[in-house]
Amino acid sequence: MSGTTTRVVIVGQGYVGLPVAMRACEAGHDVVGYDVDERRIKRLGAGESMVEDVTDERLLAALESGRYRPTTSPAGCAGFDVAIVSVPTPLSEGNPDLSYIEGAARTLAAHLTPGATVVLESTTYPGTTEELVGPILEEGSGLTVGTDFHLGYSPERIDPGNREWTFVNTPKIVSGVDPDSLAAVTAFYDTLVDHTVPVSSPREAELAKLLENTFRHVNIALINELAMFANDLGIDVWEAIDAASTKPFGYMRFTPGPGVGGHCLPIDPSYLSWRVRRSLGHTFRFVELANDVNDHMPDYVVRRLVVALNSRGQAVKDRRILLLGLAYKRNTGDARESPSASVARQLLELGADVHAADPHVSDGFLDLAVTRVDATAAEVAAADAVVLLADHDAFDLEVVAANARYVLDTRHRLTGENVEHL
């Protein structure tokens, strides 16, 4: 497929689908960005990106090239050579919600033609591609998977805000339901990325994605729980982490934080746990324990703040608290499942006057009754306490350290007599 122009449909134009659409367009393919969100498509058509890793300039260039067309019309999906499904896969009452995948598959099935390739990128449990997507495509098209059309799975590995590892230079896992499907999926992604990693079936690819995030989730939970115990024992956990990190083998550095956020870590391990429980009748104890620890880290942050204020003769009620960072990680505007939101809500319930600064997260992204401010020296000085939750480069941490009465630093970026760490 290298060196050829294909008609590509990408279902879902959010954090995953839009970067893929831009890259496919830049690689010379004709791209239709399909999404049911009319507001999102209208903004994209006007050259306004909602994804921080895709600049407005890059989006405008794609639109002006004539190779990118955002649409809410299912008819726009007709005639595709390759279709990629990159829709959300949330949890609903602890169970996987695959309704978006099902809807996308039905839409594509109506326009599926012999020789076309469909690739699922949405994170899901092992077996989804073959057990759910394939049958829906067959039923809706009258075609046979592996005979009339190709089907595969290629998990997204986008790390929002990461300038070193991008969509292009991060190795791309690819799979197919049969050898011809694998060849077709590989050939397409070879036009987009530097390196593809073929695996034997979609199940291995689906599990690989869940393994990556479960590994991170469990290790973050380990260090979070260790940090809580170390504080109670009067031990500097950060110094211990720095010391352990000097070992050149057998150790990987993880650091404590206010919890986990984004679409992946709070959700992906639960997909694997659900599949194990449903198929095998076993409990995935590591995942459930990690969920318990990480889900309660915002509670711990609030508890530490309450204790700190009490030690200064202050109740949290009516105190002015400045939260630095509403996003779930540094240098990104992604606030999905952000632990900062949980911290803010708990402080509001306790009667605090909560102010929040985050230059990356736009107003209205989070439904929080907080006062949005800039992290100026005056704003820092006016706060009874400052909580550093996301250490964006845009924050002048020297200004924070110099003007804050008290700082609870959850990222270990500040020093001083007025600073405490997790």
- Angle value at C-alpha 121, between 193 and 195, nearest 5 degrees: 20
Please give the Cα distance from 32 to 16 (Å, whole number).
Answer: 15
- Angle value at C-alpha 133, between 19 and 27, nearest 5 degrees: 25
Residue 264 annotated to the active site: yes
Q: Which of 260, 264, 356, 375 is catalytic?
A: 264
Please give the Cα distance from 370 to 76 (Å, whole number).
Answer: 41
Packing angle of the helix pair 56-65, 17-26 (nearest 10 deg) = 50
- R_g of the chain computed on alpha carbons: 23
Q: Which two tokens stand for residue 113?
A: 């033609």
For residue 153, the 8-state DSSP code is E
Please give the Cα distance from 108 to 9 (Å, whole number).
Answer: 9
List of residues 6+ apart from 23 with CB closer than 8 A = 167, 168, 192, 193
| Amino acid at site 123 | T
Please give the Cα distance from 398 to 400 (Å, whole number).
Answer: 5
Residue 420 pairs in a beta bridge with: 408
Residue 34 pairs in a beta bridge with: 11, 71
Longest dimension (CA), the chain: 73
Q: Which two tokens stand for residue 254?
A: 């993880």
The beta strands (E) that lie in 206-302 are given as: none
Helix (H, G, I), strand (E, B), or coil: what is residue 342?
Answer: helix
- Angle value at C-alpha 414, between 409 and 417, nearest 5 degrees: 90
| Amino acid at site 50 | M
List of residues 6+ apart from 178 with CB closer than 8 A = 146
Q: Which two tokens stand for residue 64?
A: 């002006």
- Positions marked catalytic: 264
